[in-house]
Amino acid sequence: MATLSKRISYLQLDAEKADNFSVLQRPLKTQTEGLPTIFYLSTPPALFGSICDSLGAHQLVQENTRIVLENPLGRDLLSSAAINEAVAKVFNERQVYRIDHYLGKETVQNLLALRFANALFEPVWSNAHINNVQITVAETVGVEGRWSYYDESGALRDMVQNHLLQLLCLVAMGVPVNLDAESVRAEKIKVLKSLKIIHPEEVEETVIRGQYCQSVINAETVPGYCEEDNSKPDSQTETFIAARADIHNWRWRGVPFYLRTGKRLPKRYSEIVIQFKDVPHSIFPLSSNLLPNKLIIRLQPDESIQLLKMNKVPGLGTGMKVLPVTLNLTLPDAVTATRVPDAYERLLYDVIRGDSTLFVHREEVEAAWKWCDAIFEGWQQRGLPPHEYGAGSWGPQTAFELIARYGHTWHESK
């Protein structure tokens, strides 16, 4: 820390006053001569445009300057496009790094290696062999004193529009020409543009939104969302989302992608579950409880990859019985003995190197907002309030009915 602190300097300015940015000119010129300058904007997105204008007006943007923007950008497609347009007046797309920390996780990147470096998986990675895909990001905490901020976004804007749809892209994308930024992001854009738009008449049965209410967790009474500090009793903001997303292309036509995220759920974890189809015909006794294969990719709190497969029950007996066992595909301890970098650490390192592969392209952002905007429009047109669910539960009952309607159940992680 002593070494690092010597390399840090601090300046205070008002981001909404253009003339304040003159204080950056001298230190940036003297301390970063010939090196790339990186501006990391962790401000409200509404300030991104004016900050970029001020940086440009004071000649602080050069060919090797880069800018990092925190997601989510805006509240909808219109506001997001306005922000991107304002940034684009000063920075070209090659210089813009829209950061989503989920893309920096080791297991998320390993998903690309799992799919494209192994002949075992890619041939079965389609609607011919996969029954459904489930992506869950569950949190046990509430809004943690950030009620006013959260109430302006909600689960759809805060989690689905960026994190969950980015994970969906990595699962569903086609094989890129290579691993450079342009090729990888082009395949993700194709996925987002193939998402079936959910029309107002479909939204009630396709997207479930909920809001946690007062309940008891571990013998302690937990307030509901509208009872938190500084809350408003009539808020309609959702703290839970369960949705079915459909990708209309040859690879995924007919395979439902179930997205689920929420606050005040029983467990904290993020995972992707790829459920394969049943065997065409079982030759084993009914008592064997034959289950479909599942590839379970855990992103947090621990990172792991496991394959659920059927195995013979050992021992003597009449007839062959099978039971589900888990095959661990996680990197062995010998490989992970070296420190695994934090997601933000990896992403910031990539910004320094000028590698934008793990960052979100403008077209991705706008395609994701287009899909989410249709859901908001459906809620508004049909006047659909969020369903209540008790804090500490897995969301409203309608979330279970959503997936059961198509003959599926949520994967319950241990």
Which secondary structure element, helix H or strand E, spans residue 5, and what is its range?
helix 2-5
Q: How many residues does the chain have?
A: 414
Q: Measured between alpha carbons, how far is residue 308 from residues 38, 53, 276, 281, 404 in Å? A: 44, 53, 10, 19, 21
The one catalytic residue in 58, 101, 129, 163 is 163
For residues 235 and 151, what is the distance between their CA atoms, to the nearest angstrom? 8
Helix (H) or strand (E) holding 387: strand 387-390
| Dihedral class, residue 273 (left if φ above 0, else alpha if ψ from -120 to 50, else beta) | beta
* Known catalytic residue at 101: no
Distances (CA, A) of 398 to 130, 388, 405: 25, 10, 10
Q: Which run of H or of E encompasses 397?
A: helix 397-404
Helix (H) or strand (E) holding 50: helix 48-57
Cα dist from 332 to 304, 337, 361, whole Å? 10, 9, 34
Bridge pairing between strands 220-222 and 215-217: antiparallel
Instruction: Determine the Cα–Cα distance for residues 360 and 181; give it in Å rounded to an integer.
Output: 10
Pairing of strands 66-70, 207-213: unpaired
Parallel, antiparallel or unpaired: strands 269-276 and 130-138:
antiparallel
Q: Which residue has the tokens 């933000």?
A: 344
Q: Which two tokens stand for residue 174?
A: 């086609």
Q: What amino acid positions are annotated as catalytic residues? A: 163
